[in-house]
Structure 1
Amino acid sequence: MKDAETVKDYFSRIVDIINQLKSCGDIVLGRKVVEKILISLPQKFEHVVTVIEEMKYIVEASIYELMGFLEAHEKHDIKYTTLVEQTFHAKLNIF
């Protein structure tokens, strides 16, 4: 996953690759895909990956459940970053 890429765009690329593999007759196991996705995530998702692995959620998670989980984290991260930036700008305006 590229640093500037959204979770939705990344999963779109992954699903395209999975579909290409399946059209070639390969058997694609969801668990293996989930493991590879978790390995390929950038640094900003490291703590989320740790939580998923510690919860043993990886055994049961589908690709789409993982996508939802990561999208929720991404939205929360964007919201938090926006709030921090607004606070910083507000403090700059005071001074």
Structure 2
Amino acid sequence: MKQKYQGSTRVKRAHLQALQKEFEMLHMKAGDFVNEYFARTLSIANKMNLNGENKEDVEVVEKILRSMTAKFDYIVCSIEESKDTTILTIDELQSSLLVHEQRMSSHFEEEYALKITHG
């Protein structure tokens, strides 16, 4: 019985280490939408929580801010300078980044429409 418990503990620890590595290596990919990246990040964080390592909101928020693509650099800087990231919720961060993403998308669509009409 003791060996079985130690074996399952070892397996659980190995699984948790794999999740930790996945969380550390995670970065937003070019072409990813904010919601997709948040879903991937939160999925890993939730799996870690289920395996005994509680990821606090601040850890997830800071991870996301560190790992966004370059097109989000100025909004990330703005968030870091204007808000206390230790109390910023994941939902608040996601909302801020979604607004930025929508603005970028509408500017891109306007530029594209102008290029088409002015050939």
TM-score of the aligned structures, taking structure 1 as reference length:
0.91
Amino acid at match of 1:19: N
- Higher relative contact order, structure no. (Cα contacts within 8 Å, ≥ 6 residues apart): 1
Deviation, 1:33, is: 1.1
Tell me the equivalent position of 1:75.
102
Amino acid at match of 2:103: H
1:54–1:15 distance in 2 versus 1, CA, 3 Å = same
Matches of 1:27 and 1:53 in 2, distance apart? 23
Unaligned runs of 5+ in 1: none
Unaligned runs of 5+ in 2: 1-27
Tell me the equivalent position of 1:17.
44
Q: Which segments of structure 1 move beyond 3 Å, counting only runs of 4 or more?
A: none
1:83–1:57 distance in 2 versus 1, CA, 3 Å = farther
What is the SS of the residue equivalent to 1:85?
helix
Tell me the equivalent position of 2:17.
none
Deviation, 1:65, is: 1.1
Matched residue count = 92
Q: How does 1:19-58 map to 2 (within 5 A)?
A: 19-58=46-85
- Percent identity, aligned pairs only, is 32
Q: CA RMSD in A?
A: 1.0
Q: Which has more radius of gyration?
A: 2
